[in-house]
Amino acid sequence: MDLAVDQVLAERERMVRSGVAAASLIAAAGLHVAVAALLIVLPRLVPSPPPLEYVAVQLVPAQRLGVEHAARQPQPAPKPPARLGGGFG
């Protein structure tokens, strides 16, 4: 093998034996657990918003108010289909 490849493989072997990889893996797992715990605990510390106030209403149809026909929204005219170019003459 190439000398550079041998050096990379030897360096990785030293990292595994020295425990650097295991320590970084444990640190990453601990960080994930801490973030998950914060996501669970922080919402419980914030006070809940006040409840919504109930307001009684009554729906009345427009006809009972004296409107004979409800106003309709004008519909836009449909666009003509696009012509495919390339015609002769």
- The string of pLDDT tens digits covering residues 24-74 is 889 999 999 999 999 999 989 988 889 999 999 988 887 777 777 766 777
Show the tokens assigned to 20. Answer: 């650097």
CA separation for the pair 2, 18 (Å, rounded)? 24
CB-count burial class (<10 Å; 0-12, 13-18, 19+) for 61: exposed
Range of the domain at 25: 1-47
pTM above 0.75, yes or no: no
With respect to residue 56, please indicate whether it lies within any of the assigned structural domains.
no
Show the tokens assigned to 88. Answer: 């002769």
With respect to residue 82, please indicate whether it lies within any of the assigned structural domains.
no
With respect to residue 59, please indicate whether it lies within any of the assigned structural domains.
no
